[in-house]
Chains A and B, each alone.
Chain A
Amino acid sequence: MTHPLTTAGGPSDALHLLGYDGRDGGSPPGSGALEQQRTLERFLAGVERRAYRMARIATSNSDDALDIVQDAMLKLVEKYGDRGEAELGPLFHCILQSRIRDWYRRSSVRNRLRSWLGGEDDEEDALQLVADPAGRSPEEILAARGGIEALEVALTELPLRQQQVFLLRAWEGLDVRDTARAMKCAEGSVKTHYSRALAALRVKLGEHWS
């Protein structure tokens, strides 16, 4: 699996941050630090969209997902900014998964408190209660919209660990060991989560992609 590490903003903005425009042709002063800055920028630009999508699938909330990605990037740069490109991926996913777990814990506590303080809080989003004008069932909507919507629903319905293990292994291409490190669990658990996730997705999405 290849993921093109493309920068979104054209020429390296990190160079401008350092006040170097590269017009003199030779090595700039402190070129080691500059090279590391470039490596970091390349890595972050390459991983940011996928990190956001992973966090978005875990939280079902865009703002929370962006906060998680921001925390992970800041932490990576602050603590491991001097590491080589090969190490950055597993380290970044360790941090990202840790932030996702934190978010999950916080929101569980918040939901529990809300249910204690406010009683039964079963208010649903009003928009979700509006019937489809064409009178289609959710399954029909999914079938009509196809791919990504069905996939998002299927992934969101997976337990968090299965969901994230599957994304790390199948999408990010992490091996079992690095996935176990990122998820802070045993390698055997990674294999179990992955095969269960795959089985569930096979049932839900088989008709779309098999």
Chain B
Amino acid sequence: MTDGKNRLEGGAQDADERLIAGIRRELDRSCDALDGHTLSRLNRIRHVALARRQSRATRLLLPFGGFVTACVLVLTVTLFMPGSLTESDDPVPPLEDIDILASNDSLDLYEDYEFYEWLASNE
């Protein structure tokens, strides 16, 4: 009795498996038989999707690339351009010269300072 029931269930299962295999085979065959127009559209859809991913990646990298370029430019200008900060002919006077520039005395006095010092020592 139980054997018979099991055999019946086994047979039904086999039939289902055959049915599923047949359905699968038929669906696969229908994919292979798609018309050229549909295949071409599917191909285009795939390429659009992949191209969009590519352009998105480029768009994400763009600000970073711009930042790096700007940094390199600033560094280049700072280090290598003539008249950059590394040279000593800075138009801003050093702090120790501020007193001289601010005083009311003639600048000639300071230019001939050594002469006046010698004159004073010989008098």
A residues near B (Cβ < 8 Å) are: 1, 3, 8-9, 13-14, 17-18, 33, 37, 40-41, 44-45, 48-50, 52-53, 62, 66, 69-70, 73-74, 76-78, 81, 147-148, 151, 167, 170-171, 198, 201-202, 205-206, 208-210
A9, B29: Cα distance in complex, Å: 20
A140, B42: Cα distance in complex, Å: 33
Known: A1-B24, A171-B23, A210-B15. A66 touches B42 (CB 8 A): yes
Which of A1, A48, A78, A171 interacts with B56 by CB under 8 Å? A78
Can you give 22 A-B contacts (C-beta < 8 A)?
A: A8-B39, A8-B42, A9-B43, A17-B50, A37-B50, A49-B34, A50-B27, A52-B42, A53-B27, A70-B48, A78-B52, A147-B26, A148-B27, A148-B30, A151-B26, A151-B27, A201-B19, A201-B23, A202-B19, A205-B23, A209-B19, A209-B22
- Whether B30 lies near A202 (C-beta < 8 A) is no
- Whether A14 lies near B18 (C-beta < 8 A) is no
- Whether A198 lies near B27 (C-beta < 8 A) is no
Q: How many Cβ-Cβ contacts under 8 Å join chain A to chain B?
A: 106
Which of B24, B29, B52 interacts with A171 by CB under 8 Å? B24
Which 7 A/B pairs are nearest by Cβ-Cβ distance? Answer: A209-B22, A49-B31, A73-B49, A70-B45, A77-B53, A77-B49, A48-B42
